[in-house]
Amino acid sequence: MVTHEHGRRRFLQMLASSPALAGGIGLGSLLGASSPAEEELITAADQAVNVLEFEAVARKNLPPWHYAYIATGVTDDSTLKANRDAFGRYQLHTRRLVDVSKVDTSVKLFGEVWETPIMLAPVGSQRAFHPEAELVTARAASAQKHNFIVSTHSSTSIEGVNKVMERPAWFQLYPTDDWNVTRAVVKRAENAGCPVMVLTVDSQNGALRDTLFKVRRSAPVKCTDCHIGGFTYNAVASRRPMFAGLDLSKVTTQLPLNMTWDVLPRLKELTSMKLLIKGIVTKEDAALALQHGVDGIIVSNHGGRSEDSKRASIDCLPDVIAAVNGKVPVLVDGGFRRGTDFFKALAMGASAVCIGRPYLWALAAFGQTGVETMLTLLRKELQIDMRQAGAASVKQITGEFLVR
Ligand SMILES: Cc1cc2nc3c(=O)[nH]c(=O)nc-3n(C[C@H](O)[C@H](O)[C@H](O)COP(=O)(O)O)c2cc1C
């Protein structure tokens, strides 16, 4: 039997001796080209100076094929890279001698107050990163008072997650191509107490995740040994708790290719949950989303893992904010890693910001303590940046603080 550690070592040796496999940001980082030496890795969550330090530990702890699932973008990973690089184009116009003795990071969304605008984005299959999967993330988010959006593809049921959270999580929907299934899943999330549903519209089956596919191809274990039935959408759905007990015989895709804007009023008819749309990156689509009745928008390119637009989320945000003109909250995700990143999005007018990979790294590195510490670090960075810039509350973080 090939253990993960044994498989990982063999795999890295093989990859290192195979120049044909090199190339692409993901593979380079899988090889540890730009990563700290083993002795420089943090060994406990409280040693982390910033959230980026969790990544190398996650890479060490996970089998490469699971780490690659986190790391991958699409094609040459350039949209993934764009999400980070773009922050460098915006600078802070900081002010002095402002009373920042008390800094208030709270935000109000859909009538609920959150102590922080930093939220956990929906990420499926978290059992690949920790045996207790979303339960650990949920406990950490709840303990640190952050919102958590649970994926349709979670490894844990929405009921299980909500049981360990002080406030019920938000639910992210992949509608599938069978409306009976959609209806049942939506009802289940509503019955579990979720106040908000997020429809993801930016991720078709078959994204060109070259980095992931190269690693899978070269893996010394067969992915299908664990992923029984393989990676067709029907097989994937049949393994997800959210679809348990449903007839999936007609389900072939997570996002039907013929789905158009009328899905929004149809979903609103099904549920009293607030409806957000995730994956909007243009002013035109923001306007259409509003016309079709959404309660909020998440600007996102799926962390650079869906289309190869090469356009960063933070660059799309101002267009969407302008089109929405304050009518509904606009959230954003994609590449947010430092306090100043959050500050910049808030200055552009975002109501909240979601993170994906940082909490997966922390989860794989140190479990619940890792995720809690990672969240504490991000909150602390945002507070320090607010003080340093001269903004005592999120409301005070306006466009005046940004220079491009
Ligand atoms: C491993 C992984 C799985 C994801 N699964 C989902 C998902 O099931 N549903 C969804 O709407 N977005 C999913 N996303 C996208 C995230 O919600 C989010 O948009 C993205 O991670 C934000 O970028 P960041 O990772 O750079 O913070 C996933 C992202 C990753 C990294």
Q: How far is CA 388 from CA 40, 117, 152, 384, 401, in A?
A: 30, 18, 39, 6, 11
Q: Which pairing describes strands 91-92 and 402-403: parallel, antiparallel, or unpaired?
A: antiparallel
Q: Which of 198, 302, 307 to mutate to test the pocket of ligand 1 (most atoms within 8 A of CB)?
A: 302
Give the closest residue (by CA) to ligand 1 atom 31. Answer: 70
Q: In CATH, what class is 85-207+227-403? A: alpha beta
Q: 232-249, pLDDT tens digit by residue?
A: 999 999 999 999 999 999
pLDDT tier at 301 (50, 70, 90 boundaries)? very high
Evaluate if residue 24 carries a pLDDT over 80. no
Distance 303 CA to ligand 1 centre (A): 6
Could you give the percent of the chain with pLDDT greater than 70?
Answer: 92
Instruction: In whole angstroms, give the CA distance from residue 292 to residue 286.
Output: 10
Joined tokens for residue 3: 């253990």
Tell me: pLDDT of 27 over 90: no
Ligand 1 pocket: which of 66, 123, 201 to mutate (most atoms <8 Å of CB)?
123
The per-residue pLDDT of the chain, averaged, comes to 93
Q: Judge residue 38's burial from the number of C-beta atoms within 10 Å of its C-beta, 0-12 exposed, 13-18 middle, 19 or more buried.
A: exposed
Rounded to whole angstroms, the Cα distance separating 286 from 105 reads: 26
Spatial distance between the Cα atoms of 396 and 104, rounded to a whole number of angstroms: 10
Residue nearest to atom 6 of ligand 1 (CA): 123
Q: Tell me what pLDDT residue 46 has.
A: 98
pLDDT exceeds cutoff 70 at 28: no
User: Which residues touch 73 (CB under 8 Å, ≥6 apart)?
Assistant: 25, 26, 79, 80, 81, 209, 211, 303, 304, 305
Domain-wise residue ranges, the chain: 4-84, 85-207+227-403
Q: What is the pLDDT of residues 147-166, one digit of tens each?
A: 999 999 999 999 999 999 99
Specify the ligand 1 atom closest to the Cα of 334.
23
Q: Is the CB of residue 159 less than 8 Å from the CB of residue 138? A: no
- Per-residue pLDDT of 176-207, as tens digits, reads 999 999 999 999 999 999 999 999 999 988 89
| Ligand 1, atom nearest to 152 Cα | 8
What average pLDDT does this structure show over 2-6?
A: 52
What is the reported pLDDT for 20? 36
pLDDT digits (tens, 9 = 90+) for 46-76: 999 999 999 999 999 999 999 999 999 999 9
Give the integer Cα–Cα distance in Å for 172 and 153.
9
- Strands of 180-322 (E only): list them: 196-200, 274-280, 296-299
Distance between Cα 305 and ligand 1 center (Å): 8
Among all residues, which ones are annotated catalytic? 302
Would you say residue 144 has pLDDT above 80? yes
- What mean pLDDT is predicted for residues 119-130? 98
pLDDT average, residue stretch 372-398: 98
Residue 19, pLDDT above cutoff 80: no
The predicted structure's pLDDT at residue 206:
87
Flag whether pLDDT at 26 surpasses 60.
no
Q: Are 263 and 288 in contact (CB under 8 A)?
A: no
How far, in Å, from the CA of 45 to the mean position of ligand 1?
Answer: 23
Q: How confident is the model at residue 34 (pLDDT cuts 50, 70, 90)?
A: low
Q: What is the pLDDT of residue 298?
A: 99
**pLDDT tens profile 217-230:** 988 888 888 999 99
Q: Is the pLDDT of residue 1 over 50?
A: no
Least confident stretch, 41-50, 224-233, 264-273, 307-316 = 224-233
pLDDT of residue 18: 41
Average the pLDDT over each of 11-15, 87-91, 258-262, 268-272 and give the range with the smallest value: 11-15
Could you tell me how far CA 214 lies from the centroid of its own chain?
23
pLDDT for the residue 29: 56
Residue 39: the pLDDT is 80
